[in-house]
Amino acid sequence: MNMDNLNITITFGDEDCNDKIDEEYMEDEDFFEDVAIEDVQFHGNTTIVFWDDGSVTTVCEGSDKEKGLAMAILKRIAGNDESYRDVFEEFCE
C-alpha cells in the first residue's frame, strides 16, 4: 500500500496537545513506518490487517470495508488494544 499521499489528522480538545502531535508524529518521516500494511483480509464484518512487522490487528466494524480498514489503522496507532473505542463511546453516543 502506498502511503505517500495518506493524510491522517488526530485532533484532541487541547490545542497544545494537537501541536505536540503534529510536531512529534505527523512531521516525523518514520511515522508511517508504524502503519506499513502487508496485507488486509475482510471476512464478513471482520477486518484483519497484517502489518509488515509481523503483528496483526483485528476489528469488527460491520460490512463497510473502508471503515474497517480505517478503524484498524486507528487501533494500531492507538496501541493495538481496545482503548481507541473510548473516544467513540464518549462522543458518538
Per-residue pLDDT of the chain in tens (93 residues, 90 and over written 9): 455 555 555 554 555 454 545 555 555 555 556 668 999 999 999 999 999 989 999 999 877 899 999 899 888 888 888 888 887 788 887
Put simply, whether the predicted model's pTM sits higher than 0.95 gets the answer: no
Mapped onto helix, strand or coil, the DSSP state of residue 50 is: strand
b/e for 4-22, b at 16 or more Cβ within 10 A? eeeeeeeeeeeeeeeeebe
pLDDT of residue 50: 95
pLDDT of residue 4: 54
Task: Quickly count: other Cβ atoms within 10 Å of residue 76's Cβ.
Answer: 19
pLDDT of residue 59: 93
- Closest by CA position to 60, among listed 39, 45, 76: 45
